[in-house]
């Protein structure tokens, strides 16, 4: 019986083998399809043209995977508007905002908030639905702040967002309700709108302002990955890059970790947490052969000779010299007095970054030399060399210069090294006052990017007697009466009187203070802490907005009521590049543009009601 079973199995296997052979023969007669090329990650990168002296650095074999800003968006609500908002919004956005209010505790009897009806709040003219957009800088870590752009929805009756308050809003890369991504940031804070028109004058109170910014109002909640991606897959190169980086920067856990033959993950060291781009630039300037005997000196000679080339990338060469380390300091010192300006300055810069005291002293001389084309670069980099004594002396000399721009750069440098000459006073998370006293003319510097800040540089100014300032909408009045008394002899000093009429409650608050500008700003901006055990709800306060303060300071300087030069921060080229992508059209699956059909009302339906389109740009409504 067993023999019969084995014979049957043998016959079955033979028949199956014949069928497979015939099938393969039939397939072999069919024409072969051409193989499709495989698209790999390295095909997304184009190997850059590397300057000859920089070949062999990590930059020549790898690139940063995520080197562009990440655009995040969300729908939010701006409150505290003096009846310049609108309750009009698409039904989907209304439902989203109402649910958010409910999650935050509004409208619950058990929490004692039953009087705060979400729908009633959203219908108020003191609230406006807005589209929020921001650009997270590359390599941002959790806690990084970035600016937000806020725009009122098209087709609504909102007329002015100035001095409003953006309620907390989660920010995502995709905001369609069907394909919402995880929130990677959140935004909130007061609205700041540039008070100046394109001509440089103050805007008129009657102007319609439907957009603004929240300075530093975006906060990253999830750190972005920092990955280096090789141009060509290689386990050997990946492991070598990991070892070179860890040997240079050390630390535990390791700074670099090779994940495969293509990717190396970087961990930003604590020293560079606030400036991750500086760390990555130094990583990219490391040579893969840096541990070979004699390499540092031979490569330093090549790099220094390259500085004589007018087309050489001088800053990258200085970084490459820095990464060769302290053994090349004697070679650098030979060129600190070179007749060629580029060789002289960038060897000094590299020596300063390494920590050579002689180089730092020369760099400080560059910082105060108004005839040098490298002065501003020296002022910026002097604060990053670790020598607070030389930096403080150089910045103190700059404060006595007649240029407001140089005084502002000196203030920035002293702020970066955390100088004790600088006094800072925060005001309840709304803005910061910085005072840098010096024996020089006064400069009032107002920032318009990231951290809102008013800097008083030089002589601390005081209001001129007879000052009378009334804000454009009449909410704020500052009166410093002219002292009365005999024509000769001392006259009695009067305090500055501050009157504020709340645009919402119409409640009037009256305070007084000394005429010195820091005292005036403190009296206007101070607000009591409701969580403090000493909190007194009856204590009067004004808590002026940053928008109103900037307008007041500019007007007083223009009218001669403050003896100071007013300067408003201009957006840098880096910031312009950061937000350039916000104005570019994007695929419909990844973005929403507030100026598109996403928020434009459709034709009116019966009864005067407006229907809204929920389609994203490039999509057909209803599909």
Give the model confidence (pLDDT) of 304-318 as tens digits: 999 999 899 999 999
- The answer on 58 and 137 residing in a single domain is no
**Per-residue pLDDT averaged across 185-196, rounded?**
89
If asked whether residues 110 and 214 sit together in one domain, one would say yes
- List C-alpha distances in Å: 600 to 156, 457, 603: 9, 47, 10
Residue found by looking up tokens 């996403």 in the block: 598
For residues 314 and 568, give the distance between their C-alpha atoms in angstroms, rounded to a whole number.
Answer: 31
Task: Name the helix (H) or strand (E) containing 549.
Answer: helix 546-558
Specify whether 134 is located in the same domain as 157.
Answer: yes
Give me the mean pLDDT over the 472-497 stretch.
78
Residue 23 resides in a domain: no
Q: Are 380 and 367 in contact (CB under 8 A)?
A: no
Which structural domain, as residue segments, surrounds residue 446?
423-482+492-568
437 and 546 share one domain:
yes
Contact present, 540 and 516 (Cβ < 8 Å)? no
Average pLDDT estimate for 95-120: 79
Residues 197, 107 share a domain: yes
Question: Is 69 in contact with 576 (CB distance < 8 Å)?
Answer: no
Q: Is residue 369 part of a domain?
A: no
Are both 211 and 232 inside the same structural domain? Answer: no
183 assigned to some structural domain = yes
Q: What is the pLDDT of residues 271-292, one digit of tens each?
A: 888 888 999 999 999 999 988 8
- Distance of alpha carbon 58 from alpha carbon 552, whole angstroms: 51
Please answer whether residues 62 and 241 qualify as being in contact, where contact means their C-beta atoms are separated by less than 8 angstroms.
yes
Residue 408 DSSP SS3: helix
Per-residue pLDDT, 106: 78
- Rounded Cα gap, residues 259 and 235, in angstroms: 10
Regarding whether 216 and 231 lie in a shared domain, the answer is no
pLDDT (0 to 100) of residue 486: 60
* Distance (Å, whole) CA 347 – CA 362: 11
Q: What is the pLDDT of residues 538-549, one digit of tens each?
A: 889 999 999 999
Q: Is 80 within the bounds of a domain?
A: yes
Q: Final residue of a domain: which of 568, 585, 613?
A: 568
Given 271, 291, 311, the domain boundary residue is 291
| Residues 597, 617 contacting (CB under 8 angstroms) | yes
Query: Considering the domain boundaries, does residue 363 fall inside one?
Result: no
Q: Are 204 and 162 in contact (CB under 8 A)?
A: no
Structure tokens, 411: 């203030």
Output the CA–CA distances (angstroms, integers) from residue 248 to 54, 274, 300, 576, in the order listed: 18, 20, 17, 33
431-437 vs 453-458, strand pairing mode = parallel
> Based on the domain organization, do 200 and 281 belong to the same domain?
no
- Six-digit token string for 388: 């607070």
Predicted structure pTM score: 0.80
Largest alpha-carbon pair distance within the chain? 138
Same domain membership, residue 164 and residue 132: yes
Q: Considering the domain boundaries, does residue 276 fall inside one?
A: yes
What confidence tier does 488 reach under pLDDT thresholds 50, 70, 90?
Answer: low
Q: Let me know whether 109 and 250 are in one domain.
A: no
Which of 568, 585, 614 is the endpoint of a domain?
568
CB pairs under 8 A, 24+ apart, for 616-619?
A: 616/176, 616/588, 616/589, 616/591, 616/592, 617/585, 617/586, 617/588, 617/591, 617/592, 617/593, 618/585, 618/587, 618/588, 619/588
- Same domain? For 148 and 94 the reply is yes
Lowest mean per-residue pLDDT among 69-83, 322-336, 496-510, 595-609:
595-609
Q: At 17, give phi and psi (nearest 5°).
A: -65, -40
pLDDT of residue 334: 94
**In a shared domain, residues 152 and 285:** no
- Residue 177 phi, psi dihedral angles, 5° rounding: -65, -30
534 within some domain: yes
1 falls within a domain? no
How sure is the predictor about 240, in pLDDT bands with cuts at 50, 70 and 90?
A: very high
Instruction: Examine the pLDDT at 426 and tell me if it is beyond 50.
Output: yes
Tell me the average pLDDT of the chain.
82
Please report, for residues 44, 64, 279, 327, the alpha-carbon distance to residue 283 in angstroms, rounded to integers and kept in the order given: 21, 11, 6, 19
Mean pLDDT of 384-394: 91
Q: Could you give the number of structural domains in the chain?
A: 3
């Amino acid at each position: 019986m067993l023999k019969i079973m084995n014979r049957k199995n043998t016959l079955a296997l033979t028949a199956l083998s014949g069928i497979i052979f015939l099938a393969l023969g039939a397939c072999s007669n069919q024409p072969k399809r051409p193989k499709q090329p495989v698209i790999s990650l390295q095909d997304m990168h184009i190997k850059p043209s590397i300057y000859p002296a920089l070949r062999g650095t990590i930059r020549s074999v790898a690139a940063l995977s995520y080197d562009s800003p990440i655009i995040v968006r969300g729908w939010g609500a701006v409150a505290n508007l003096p009846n310049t908002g609108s309750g009009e919004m698409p039904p989907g956005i209304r439902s989203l905002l109402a649910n958010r209010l409910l999650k935050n505790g509004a409208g619950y009897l058990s929490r004692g908030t039953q009087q705060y009806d979400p729908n009633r709040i959203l219908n108020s003219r003191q609230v406006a639905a807005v589209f929020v957009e921001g650009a997270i800088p590359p390599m941002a870590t959790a806690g990084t702040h970035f600016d937000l752009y806020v725009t009122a929805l098209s087709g609504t009756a909102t007329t002015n967002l100035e001095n409003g308050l953006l309620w907390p809003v989660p920010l995502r890369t995709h905001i369609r309700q069907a394909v919402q991504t995880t929130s990677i940031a959140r935004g909130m804070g007061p609205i700041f709108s540039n008070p100046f028109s394109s001509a440089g004058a103050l805007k008129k109170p009657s102007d319609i302002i439907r957009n603004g910014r929240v300075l530093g109002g975006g906060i990253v909640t999830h750190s972005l990955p920092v990955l280096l991606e090789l141009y060509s897959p290689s386990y050997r190169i990946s492991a070598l890059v990991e070892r070179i980086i860890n040997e240079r920067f050390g630390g535990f856990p390791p700074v670099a970790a090779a994940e495969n033959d293509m990717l190396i993950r970087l961990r930003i060291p604590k020293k560079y947490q606030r400036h991750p781009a500086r760390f990555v630039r130094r990583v990219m300037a490391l040579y893969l052969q840096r541990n070979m005997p004699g390499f540092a000196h031979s490569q330093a000679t090549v790099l220094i000779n390259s500085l004589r080339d007018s087309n050489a990338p001088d800053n990258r060469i200085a970084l490459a010299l820095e990464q060769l380390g302290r053994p090349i300091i004697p070679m650098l010192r030979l060129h600190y007095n070179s007749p060629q300006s580029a060789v002289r300055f960038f060897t000094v810069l590299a020596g300063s970054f390494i920590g050579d005291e002689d180089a730092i002293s020369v760099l400080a001389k560059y910082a105060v030399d108004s005839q040098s084309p490298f002065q501003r670069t020296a002022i910026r980099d002097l604060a990053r060399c670790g020598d607070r004594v030389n930096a403080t002396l150089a910045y103190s000399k700059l404060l006595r210069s007649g240029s407001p721009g140089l005084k502002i750069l000196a203030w920035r440098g002293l702020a970066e090294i955390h100088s004790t000459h600088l006094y800072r006073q925060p005001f309840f998370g709304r803005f910061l006052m910085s005072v840098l006293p010096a024996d020089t003319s006064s400069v009032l510097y107002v920032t318009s990017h990231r951290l809102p800040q008013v800097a008083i540089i030089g002589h601390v100014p005081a209001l001129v007697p007879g000052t009378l300032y009334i804000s454009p909408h009449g909410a704020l009045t500052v009166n410093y009466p002219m002292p009365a008394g005999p024509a000769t002899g001392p006259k009695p000093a009067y305090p500055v009187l501050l009157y504020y009429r709340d645009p919402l409650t119409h409640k009037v608050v009256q305070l007084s203070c000394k005429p010195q500008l820091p005292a005036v700003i403190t009296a206007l901006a101070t607000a009591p802490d409701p969580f403090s055990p000493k909190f007194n709800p009856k204590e009067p306060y004004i808590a002026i907005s940053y928008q109103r303060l900037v307008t007041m300071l500019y007007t007083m300087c223009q009218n001669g009521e403050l003896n100071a030069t007013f300067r408003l921060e201009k957006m840098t080229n880096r910031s312009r590049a950061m937000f350039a992508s916000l104005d570019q059209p994007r695929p419909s699956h990844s973005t929403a543009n507030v100026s598109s059909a996403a928020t434009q009302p459709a034709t009116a339906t019966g009864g005067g009601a407006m229907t809204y389109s929920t389609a994203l740009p490039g999509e057909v409504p209803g599909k």
